[in-house]
Amino acid sequence: IYLVAESKSAEPWPENATLYQQLKGEQILLSDNAASLAVQAFLQMCNLPIKVVCRANAEYMSPSGKVPFIHVGNQVISELGPIVQFVKAKGHSLSDGLGEVQKAEMKAYMELVNNMLLTAELYLQWCDEATVGEITHARYGSPYPWPLNHILAYQKQWEVKRKMKAIGWGKKTLDQLNATYVTPVSTFRPTELDALVFGHLYTILTTQLTNDELSEKVKNYSNLLAFCRRIEQHYFEDRGKGRLS
Amino acid sequence: MAAPLELSCWAGGWGLPSVHSESLVVMAYAKFCGAPLKVNVIDNTWRGSRGDVPILTTEDNMVSQPAKILNFLRKQKYNADYELSAKQGADTLAYIALLEEKLLPAVLHTFWVESDNYFTVTKPWFASQIPFPLSLILPGRMSKGALNRILLTRGQPPLYHLREVEAQIYRDAKECLNLLSNRLGTSQFFFGDTPSTLDAYVFGFLAPLYKVRFPKVQLQEHLKQLSNLCRFCDDILSSYFRLSLGDG
């Protein structure tokens, strides 16, 4: 979803482009962190500078209610999909060189990542009682005074549970997570798929949760670990941005 | 191999062995890998009320949901993906995810939410297959379930209203159909000359959309322009489901 002004593609990428997400230390949750990291990785891969700003109400500032969102010139765009399209309209694309079939595969794999990884993260965060009690609830409500902190957290949990039920994730399906997908796209240049996968995997590997099932599963795949390390080194360290915390 | 495998599913019509996508996926998969399925279509004597169809029953097991049923069949050595490489297996998962995210909402909408279609075609058909008074309840429940699924997975602020979601889901579905058509190209099946799980899924989702006669047909019209996808469905129907003999 994005609000578009009339002259959208004319202006070049401004120096003060900003990305908004929730507070890093105390508030942001696994799934939102992954989404934010994916967008950051994507923009790094396109060589477009972006400043990360943390706001407690980032979720409510976003036009679609999802984080992260970017503020570029006078436009606000949220979520990786629309951001990729917006960046493309400005003349930067990572996947232009792909053939039709490869583009189809890339889109399919992005859906798969969303389907499996994002859903597993959401399930872990909001439907695993131990995680909810010890981590999610407290983090989600942290910027707000009592009783708003509890109300908002319960409301969000109810929303996520409804969604899980609608798509059939009611019972624990983490075992079905099949992490043997191979990144099929061109090895010459990374694409938005790589950004998405990196965002999720890196976050899963580096976030401390009560339930380690997800990160243990990912750790079993050395090719995925190597992939994360490669992207981190190439796009986040080399640019003098310092390590991702 | 000894125990008979029975599949309960929705009946066919309009030239299809079943008009229900999920039932069709299982039936196609079974045909592809030669699993001997005894098909029991739901009719006026059906006593189950859960709407969980398709359901596979063996002597001591009851399995529902296409993914689980296919898994079960594979464990019984009915494996249509035997020849696929690891990458093709991963591709299968990816394309199935694409189908469920991008195509399914619009298919659900075409069948269950679009009022002209639902009231003139879908509801009467399903109601005619089940005994009274279930016929009064189940179609409505299935319709609400479909709407729910669409709104919960796609309707987010500011797209709370169905009309805006509709435009988006049909756009996504058309794009998905284009992607599938590109991927299939001129091949007979998605991975070469023999059909696999992915072919079963694509067939299951596309065939009802292709064949059922609806008043509101925008997605159907789009599909009909993709001739290789139509050819794909027709080929499977004529090779694996010889309907003219009244085969289930």
CB contact under 8 A, B93 and A112: yes
Distance (Å, rounded) from C-alpha B22 to C-alpha B8? 11
CA A35 and chain centroid, separation? 1
Averaged pLDDT for residues B183-193: 89
Q: For A135-145, how does the pLDDT look when each residue is reduced to its tens digit (9 = 90+)? A: 888 888 888 88
Determine, for residues B86 and A180 on separate chains, whether the beta-carbon distance falls below 8 Å.
yes
Closest CA to A56 of A27, A35, A29, A79: A27
Whose CA is closest to A210, among A141, A117, A123, A134? A134
Q: How far is A238 from chain B (nearest CA, A)?
A: 31
Q: Which tokens is B183 given?
A: 């991927």
Rounded to an integer, what distance in angstroms lies between the CA atom of residue B92 and that of residue A102? Answer: 14
User: What is the Cα–Cα distance from A227 to A232, expressed in whole angstroms?
Assistant: 9
pLDDT, position A183: 44
Cα→Cα distances A177→A194, A211, A219, B40, B89, Å: 19, 15, 13, 32, 14
Residue A114 or B238, more confident: B238
Please give the pLDDT value at position B200: 94
- Reading phi first (left if > 0) and then psi (alpha if -120 to 50, else beta), residue B133 is in alpha
Q: Mind telling me how many Å the CA of A37 is from chain B's nearest CA?
A: 22
Asked if the Cβ–Cβ distance from A181 to B152 is below 8 Å, we say no
How far apart (Å, rounded) are the C-alpha atoms in residues B163 and A155?
25
| CB-closest option in A65, A111, A162 to B98 | A111
Residue A216: C-alpha distances to residues A175, A232, B87, B94 (Å): 12, 20, 23, 22
pLDDT at res. B119? 92
| Mutation to test the B interface, candidates A112, A158, A173, most B Cβ within 10 Å | A112
Question: What pLDDT is recorded for position A189?
Answer: 64
Q: Which range among A113-127, A130-144, B106-120, B164-178 shows the weakest confidence by mean pLDDT?
A: A113-127
Euclidean distance between the first and the last CA atom of chain B, given in angstroms as a whole number: 21
Residues of A with Cβ-Cβ distance to B148 under 8 angstroms: 166
Q: What residues of chain A score a pLDDT lower than 50?
A: 1-8, 170-187, 241-243, 245
Residues of A in contact with B100 (CB under 8 A): 111, 115
For B44-55, the three-class secondary structure string (H helix, E strand, C coil) is CCCCCCCCCCCE
**Predicted pLDDT of residue B120:** 92
Whether residues B98 and A108 touch (CB distance < 8 A) is answered with yes
Q: Say yes or no to pLDDT of B142 above 70.
A: yes
| Residue of B93, B159, B183 lying closest to A104 (CB–CB) | B183
Q: What 3-state class would DSSP assign to A130?
A: helix
A115 with B100: Cβ contact below 8 A = yes
Distance CA(B45)–CA(B119), nearest Å, equals 24
CA A96 – CA A218 distance, rounded (Å): 30
Is the CB of B102 less than 8 angstroms away from the CB of A111?
A: yes
Can you give the pTM of this predicted structure?
0.81
> Could you tell me whether strands B62-64 and B55-57 are parallel, antiparallel, or unpaired per DSSP bridges?
antiparallel
Task: Report chain A's mean pLDDT, rounded to a whole number.
Answer: 79
Q: What is the pLDDT of residues A182-238, one digit of tens each?
A: 443 334 567 888 888 888 888 888 888 777 777 777 777 777 778 888 888 888 876
Question: Residue B192's pLDDT is what?
Answer: 84
CA distance B214 to chain A (A): 26
Which of A90-94, A183-187, B111-115, B155-159 shows the highest mean pLDDT? B111-115
Chain B residues with CB-CB distance to A under 8 A?
65, 86-87, 89-91, 93-95, 97-98, 100-102, 148-149, 152-153, 156-159, 179-180, 182-183, 185
pLDDT single digits (tens) B20-73:
898 999 999 999 988 888 888 887 666 655 557 888 888 888 888 888 888 888
pLDDT of residue A171: 44
Instruction: Please report, rounded to a whole number, the percentage of residues in chain B having pLDDT higher than 90.
Output: 30
Whether residue B157 has a cis bond before it, omega within 30° of 0: no
Q: Which residues of A touch B90 (CB under 8 A)?
A: 180-182, 184
